[in-house]
Structure 1
Amino acid sequence: MLRSMYSGVSGMRGFQAKLDVIGNNIANVNTFGFKGSRIAFKDLLSQTTSGVTAPVEGESGGVNGKQIGLGVAIAGIDVIHTPGSAMTTNYPLDMRIDGDGFFAVKAASDQDEPYLTRAGNFSLDSKGQLVNADGLFVCDNDGGIITIPTDAQAFSVGANGKITIVEADGNTTTTDAGIAVTRVVNPAGLEKIGGNLYRNTLNASDPEDPELKLDGVPGTGGLGSIITGALEMSNVDLTSEFTEMIVAQRGFQSNARIITTSDEILQEVVNLKR
């Protein structure tokens, strides 16, 4: 009976964590570039009450062991990096990556390694520097900061990340270094740090060469192309999330019932003395 109570407690903790994950997914259903998470469970150690016996030819058959499980634990919480739906905005500084890869952004020009993001809602500051909503600098293929001349008449971003600028005198120039798009071997191994940002980890990149590569050209070498005037929305499916919420709620209630039932049986045992 005590085993069943502790199993029920572990189940309640597990389903509470599942509800926490679901709640975060639903809260970010309209967050640009957000990737939903899922939780997986595993059973705990089992207590063996009777061992296995082998069959003896001509005398007896084999007997299976008897084990009682001791509850459940969280096996992992994975981030699902499937692409989100596209939303057309027609704003030239809104960008999405059509395929694999991440934008690279920095908090300072001398930051060693950039953060990664799929949220492409960028803008220009008063110096003409391309930044995200939190003021982080968008990196180019050389790891530098992208700057548009403040006196430029117009500019456009190509699918390969190159920026074409129409200068004040009417001349047109295309930058050598375009907007960087990089990718990692295992996106699920990236660390979420908030603000639609990810940090590179040793389980995300090749352990032999973990440094992010920014010199790739979008649309080539497996990197996605850059689409301007559109944003990538969250990949959270509300239908699936609400279904999983019902399952988690019923699982929590069922484990709570295990505890109350075990408590009632223990009360009956105590009452036998009366």
Structure 2
Amino acid sequence: MMRSLFSAISGLRAHQTWMDVIGNNIANVNTTGFKEGRVRFTDVLYQLIHGAGAPGNNLGGINPEQIGLGASIAAIDTIQTQGALQMTGKPTDLAIQGDGFFIVQDASGNKFYTRDGAFGTDANGDLVNPATGMHVLDASGNTINIPNTIVSFTIDQQGNIVGVDANGNQQQIAQIGLATFANPAGLSKVGQNLFAETPNSGTANAGAPGTNGRGLIASGYLEMSNVDLAQEFTNMILAQRGFQANARTITTSDEMLQELVNLRR
């Protein structure tokens, strides 16, 4: 009975973690470029009561007798599926159709990766993420600057930024870079819609959009969250019922222990 108590406690903890992940997914249902999390459970150590026995003379084999000791979290995966595109009409709002991440750089030179393409230009004409101030990098790893002589510009599917000056002359300004990873699910979420490289994600393979498996750029669009609310609410019900069932196991085990204590009366 004591084993059942501790097994149920492990189940409570696992289902509470699942609910935490579900809550975060639902909270970010309208977060640009957000990628949902998924929880996977695993069973834990088994106590061996009786070992297996091989068949012998006039006697069949014996299966092992084991008692499980609960559940735990096997992994919390990041699901890197494509989110729906939402039209904004703003030229510096960019979405990726396919694989890849925009590359941004902070003031210390640290690089991060994001699917959130809500970009803009600052007072210096640099292409930045206005929420963080991080610079957007081009295909060569350099910051992107729109000269003040440019009166308008467009961004095509290959990420080419073509500007038009006051005389109507066109000029190639830069090409937005994208990075792909051998294992994008191995990236670490660091907040502000940013991912960081980890040993299990592999190193960033940066280059031009539309090359070597990288996606294309859609100007005037943003990628929405890939959270499926119907699935999340279904998972919420499952998590709640799993939590209730484990709580009921604790209650029942307590009642059995109480009966044992009452035997002395």
The question of a shared fold, defined as TM-score above 0.5 by the shorter chain, is answered with: yes
Q: Output the CA distance in 2 between the equivalents of 1:69 and 1:153.
A: 69
Q: Is 1:269 aligned to residue 260 of structure 2?
A: yes
Name the SS of the counterpart of 2:12 in structure 1: helix
Q: Which residue of 1 is the match for residue 205 of structure 2?
A: 213
* Aligned residue type for 1:185: A
Over the residues paired in the alignment, what is the CA RMSD in angstroms?
Answer: 1.1
Q: Output the CA distance in 2 between the equivalents of 1:107 and 1:201.
A: 18
Of 186, 191, 201, the residue aligned with 2:188 is: 191
Deviation of 1:198 (Å): 0.4
Name the SS of the counterpart of 1:153 in structure 2: strand
Q: 5 Å matches for 1:11-30? A: 11-30=11-30
Q: Which residue of 2 is the match for residue 156 of structure 1?
A: 154
Q: Output the CA distance in 2 between the equivalents of 1:238 and 1:98.
A: 22
Q: Output the CA distance in 2 between the equivalents of 1:7 and 1:95.
A: 48
Q: Which residue of 1 is the match for residue 231 of structure 2?
A: 240
Q: 5 Å matches for 1:1-274? A: 1-57=1-57, 59-108=58-107, 111=109, 113-132=110-129, 133-175=131-173, 177-205=174-202, 210=203, 212-214=204-206, 216-274=207-265
Q: Output the CA distance in 1 between the equivalents of 2:52 and 2:175.
A: 66
* Aligned residue type for 1:202: P
Q: Deviations over 1:17-42 (max 9, x none)?
A: 00000000000000000000101111
Name the SS of the counterpart of 2:86 in structure 1: strand
TM-score with structure 1 setting the length: 0.94
Deviation of 1:169 (Å): 2.6
**Structure 1: any 5+ residue segments left out of the alignment?**
none
Q: Output the CA distance in 1 between the equivalents of 2:44 and 2:4.
A: 13
Q: Output the CA distance in 2 between the equivalents of 1:121 and 1:251.
A: 39
Residue identity over aligned pairs, in percent, reads 52
Deviation of 1:213 (Å): 3.5
Deviation of 1:226 (Å): 0.5
Name the SS of the counterpart of 2:62 in structure 1: coil
Deviation of 1:221 (Å): 1.5
Structure 1 moving runs of 4+ over 6 Å:
none
Name the SS of the counterpart of 1:154 in structure 2: strand
Q: Deviations over 1:112-158 (max 9, x none)?
A: x5100000011111111111122111001221111112232110111
Q: Output the CA distance in 2 between the equivalents of 1:150 and 1:242.
A: 50
* Aligned residue type for 2:75: G
Deviation of 1:201 (Å): 1.0
The alignment covers a number of residue pairs equal to: 264
* Aligned residue type for 1:128: G
